[in-house]
Structure 1
Amino acid sequence: MSVLTRTDGAHPAAPRPKNGRATIGAMAFMVLAACYMLLPVYWLIVAATKSQSDLVGTPGLLPAEWHLGDNLSALFAQQNGAFGRWLLNSLLYAGAGAAAATALAAAAGYALATYTFPGREAVFSVILGGVLVPATALALPLFLLFAELDATDTFWSVFLPSVVSPFGVYLSRIFAAASVPDEVVEAARMDGAGEFRIFRTIALRLMAPALVTVFLFQFVVIWNNFLLPLVMLQDDRLYPVTLGLFTWQSQTSRLPELQSLTVVGALVSVIPIVLTFLLLQRHWRAGLAAGAVKS
């Protein structure tokens, strides 16, 4: 077997040795950053397993006697099962609100990307401005608006503001412009499909990865929402879990046992968010992979 050699007398360039120190340094930095970000999670898990006396009498990062089962029983029994009701309220606010916000954002983003009409860019600029407005600046105007309608301290006073997502509209328009070809829309129109049918059967499927992203973002935003329920609600039966745990924490000086229940409740309240990400991650990746192979 012959061996090919270079006739110009030059030797092939040898591969450069990898910089081991840089790799080790980068890995060490990432490990430290991960530990720093996961430290509050570790503290929360450890603190949730402690009794009230161990919570205040032992170092926060060191485990003590296991009381997680007793803490969970006391958590769901406290105040006639108020925590379970708050958890269901948060699931309703976040789940239904995120679904409605995603549907509205998809329709608005598709319309802004597909149709040409006077003032389209002005409307989009207003939506971009809405992304920049902090939620704290909107709490008081929303309260005054719902007070005029005599709708404060109701489910709708928290739910309706949650279905508006300027960032979702922005993301939906960008993704619709990139993933829904005009040729496909025109071909569907020539075949006699109506506009709503085109949106429902074609656009939504092509926009699926972006819509999952919009849903996840809006779900987390609504789940973590605290200021709007604080301003709108007085009936504790309508509280989300964030506001409910805050009311318990504010009473720990009078009822010290609520401190451990608040910690356990905070741990339980994180579980739905983690499960939502894990359940939708598969659909998110599948949608991205399907979009990558489309011509």
Structure 2
Amino acid sequence: MTPKPGGQNGQAETVRQGARPSDGSRSTTHPGQTPLKDQRHLSSYYLRWLGNSALYAVTSGIGATAIAALAGYAFAKLRFVGRNALFALLLGLIMVPATALVLPTYLMMAEIELVNSVWAVILPSLLNPFGVYLLRVYAYDSVPDEMLEAARIDGAGEFRVFRSVALPAMRPALVTVLLFSMVATWNNFFLPLVMLSDQDLYPLTVGLRSWYLSATIGNGGPALFNVIVIGSLVAIIPLIAAFLLLQRYWRGGLTIGALK
């Protein structure tokens, strides 16, 4: 007897399509269960998406923190033409929703042929106006001008003054910006949804959403829903681990910055 399209075989086929195109083979399982072969396909894609999310979050977090540290220190401690105007522009950027910039960013990435690449997700995430503002305020209050002047008198260049004196004193704020940037990139959904069309480049947010659509529109049933729920739960573990690893760096003092 030919199995009905909505039967167990059709359900298993739909589950397989939620991860990758079907190779034409059939698997028979009880309702609510996923065949071993399908589990391997799903696990392979999930681990790939997990690795992509980690790559985007770590790279964007470190890059955004470095840029914010340089800009925040410059706004707080250096004197240059147009400083106040640039800082006012920065405050204005904080009020612009990130989703409103996705379409212009996509058009710009299309011009330089970076759409559907990891750089289409990483490069826009490097600009963190709030991080620049936070580090500017923290550097202004926490980095004494006397320490900077003493380092300059000792013959240190401006970059060494920043690296050896300012950065250690700004460590709690740096960790805060790093964590915020990583969490924002890890949870980012709309930007990679617009920029990426290759499943191999999906982060977890977009990948789990594609499974959800396969389970609802494609009638994937409870087998795929169970994987989605477990995958969503596992996705928050790296964020918790990052917070636990970085929290000790918030206990920084103001006297840790000294020229060596």
The TM-score normalised by the length of structure 1 is 0.72
Aligned to 2:88: 125
Q: Which has the higher contact order (CA 8 A, sep 6+)?
A: 2
Distance 1:75 1:209 in 2: 45
Aligned to 1:138: 101
Structure 1 residue matching 2:61: 3-state secondary structure? helix
1:293 to 1:108, Cα distance in 2 relative to 1, 3 A: closer
Which of 244, 256, 260 is matched with 1:278 structurally? Answer: 244
Letter of the 2:71 partner, please give it.
A
Q: Does 1:267 align with 2:233?
A: yes
Distance 1:283 1:251 in 2: 43
Distance 2:38 2:147 in 1: 54
Aligned to 1:152: 115
Distance 1:131 1:245 in 2: 29
Residue segments in structure 1 that go unaligned for 5+ positions in a row: 1-69
Which of 179, 184, 188 is matched with 1:221 structurally? Answer: 184
Q: Is the 8 A contact 1:225 1:242 kept in 2?
A: yes
Report matched runs for 1:82-231 at 5 Å: 82-231=45-194
Letter of the 1:274 partner, please give it.
I
Deviation at 1:283, TM superposition (A): 1.7
Letter of the 2:254 partner, please give it.
G
Q: Is the 8 A contact 1:233 1:239 kept in 2?
A: yes
Report matched runs for 1:29-108 at 5 Å: 77-79=40-42, 81-108=44-71
1:238 to 1:293, Cα distance in 2 relative to 1, 3 A: closer
Q: Is the 8 A contact 1:75 1:261 kept in 2?
A: no
Q: Does 1:232 align with 2:228?
A: no
Q: Which portions of structure 1, spanning 4 or more consecutive aligned residues, are displaced by more than 2 angstroms?
A: 73-80, 290-294
Q: Is the 8 A contact 1:76 1:84 kept in 2?
A: no
Distance 2:73 2:40 in 1: 47
Distance 2:154 2:89 in 1: 35
Q: Is the 8 A contact 1:113 1:177 kept in 2?
A: yes
Distance 2:38 2:79 in 1: 55
Q: Is the 8 A contact 1:101 1:218 kept in 2?
A: yes
Distance 1:81 1:187 in 2: 56
1:105 to 1:75, Cα distance in 2 relative to 1, 3 A: farther
Structure 2 residue matching 1:152: 3-state secondary structure? coil
Provide, for residues 232-267 of structure 1, a one-character-per-residue CA deviation record: whole Å limited to 9, x for no partner: 000011100100000000110322221111101000
1:182 to 1:251, Cα distance in 2 relative to 1, 3 A: same
Aligned to 2:3: none
1:258 to 1:127, Cα distance in 2 relative to 1, 3 A: same
Q: Is the 8 A contact 1:76 1:82 kept in 2?
A: no
Deviation at 1:131, TM superposition (A): 0.9
Which of 214, 232, 252 is matched with 1:251 structurally? Answer: 214
Aligned residue pair count: 221
Q: Is the 8 A contact 1:75 1:264 kept in 2?
A: no
Structure 2 residue matching 1:81: 3-state secondary structure? helix
The TM-score normalised by the length of structure 2 is 0.81
- Kindly name which structure, 1 or 2, has the bigger radius of gyration based on alpha carbons: 1
Structure 2 residue matching 1:192: 3-state secondary structure? coil
Percent of aligned pairs with the same amino acid: 51
Structure 2 residue matching 1:247: 3-state secondary structure? helix
Distance 1:138 1:282 in 2: 35
Deviation at 1:148, TM superposition (A): 0.8
